[in-house]
Structure 1
Amino acid sequence: MAWSWQTIAWAAIALLLFAAEALAPGAFMLWLGLAAAAVFGLVLLFPGLTVLAQVAAFVVLSFVSIQVYRTWFRGRERASDQPLLNRRAEQLVGRVVPLERAIVQGVGRVQIADAFWDVSGPDLAAGTPVRVIGTDGMTLQVEAADRE
């Protein structure tokens, strides 16, 4: 078994990619690291492999490993029991609140709990009850609500 500079380089690349995955998880660097580890194994088995062949093998194995991830693993994620957990604005859809500041030229403001939200909708006077019907980023889309 020959420990050439190429063998050590592929081992180092694989370890660096695994470390990058640990620092910034997202399951992307993991697959590149597995491809680099596979090329490390190829260089150990076939010490006469040219650098061009090694790089080509890395590119092909990276592409294949990412496709394996996208096909078999990415689609099998568990559905969340709280899909709106990190979507605070979307959690407010359906709520009825009074306008804190009148909607003028389509823009106004409401207070929900201790937060103020920009709203868009038809022009309405301050104090008018509005129903949140959707979101556009962090702006709530509202319409006049029937008095309950």
Structure 2
Amino acid sequence: MQWSWESVAWAAVALLLFAAEALAPGAFMLWLGFAAAAVFALVLLFPGLSILAQVAAFVALSFVSIQVYRTWFRGRGRQTDRPLLNRRAEALVGRVVPLERAIVDGRGRVQIADAYWDVTGPELPAGAAVRVVAVEGMVLRVEAAR
């Protein structure tokens, strides 16, 4: 095996890309690093490969590796047992609470825990039990609980 300046350069590029990924994680430089490592292997296997062919291989392999990332890895986020953790209003859908202020002209108010929420729904007196059926911004849509 003969070490040429091209093989050393591609190894250095791959290592620099991996280091950049370690310093600023985002899974983008990692895939370019894989492409550079593959070109490094190509240069070792085929020592007479021209610089233009090496750069073309790097561009093509970068494109392929990024597409692999986008297709198989990007969309697969971590699954959680609490999907509504940071979506407080959406977590209230389905709860039954008493009206704190009667719904008049389609508007009223409920208290859930220590927060007051504006609600919309049918005319109901204060104290009536309502079920939260939807969230529209910061307003809860309710209906009479049965």
Q: Do they fold alike, i.e. is TM over 0.5?
A: yes
**d(CA) in 1 for partners of 2:20 and 2:29?**
7
| Matched letter for residue 143 of structure 1 | V
What does residue 45 of structure 1 align with? 45
Does the CA contact (< 8 Å) of 1:98 and 1:126 recur in 2? no
Rg (Cα) greater in structure: 2
CA 143–37 in structure 1, closer or farther in 2 if over 3 Å, else same: same
**d(CA) in 1 for partners of 2:138 and 2:126?**
18
What does residue 57 of structure 2 align with? 57
Matched length: 144
CA 139–67 in structure 1, closer or farther in 2 if over 3 Å, else same: same
What are the within-5 Å matches in structure 2 for residues 51-130 of structure 1?
51-73=51-73, 79-97=79-97, 111-115=111-115, 119=118, 121-122=120-121, 130=130
What does residue 10 of structure 1 align with? 10
Matched-pair identity in %: 69
CA 88–10 in structure 1, closer or farther in 2 if over 3 Å, else same: farther
| Matched letter for residue 44 of structure 2 | L
The runs of 5 or more residues in structure 2 that have no matched partner are: none
- Displacement of 1:34 in angstroms is 1.0
Q: CA RMSD in A?
A: 4.1
Does the CA contact (< 8 Å) of 1:102 and 1:127 recur in 2? yes
CA 108–76 in structure 1, closer or farther in 2 if over 3 Å, else same: same
| TM-score when normalising by structure 1 | 0.60
**d(CA) in 2 for partners of 1:21 and 1:12?**
14
Does the CA contact (< 8 Å) of 1:130 and 1:142 recur in 2? no
**d(CA) in 1 for partners of 2:141 and 2:30?**
44
SS at match of 2:89: helix
| TM-score when normalising by structure 2 | 0.61
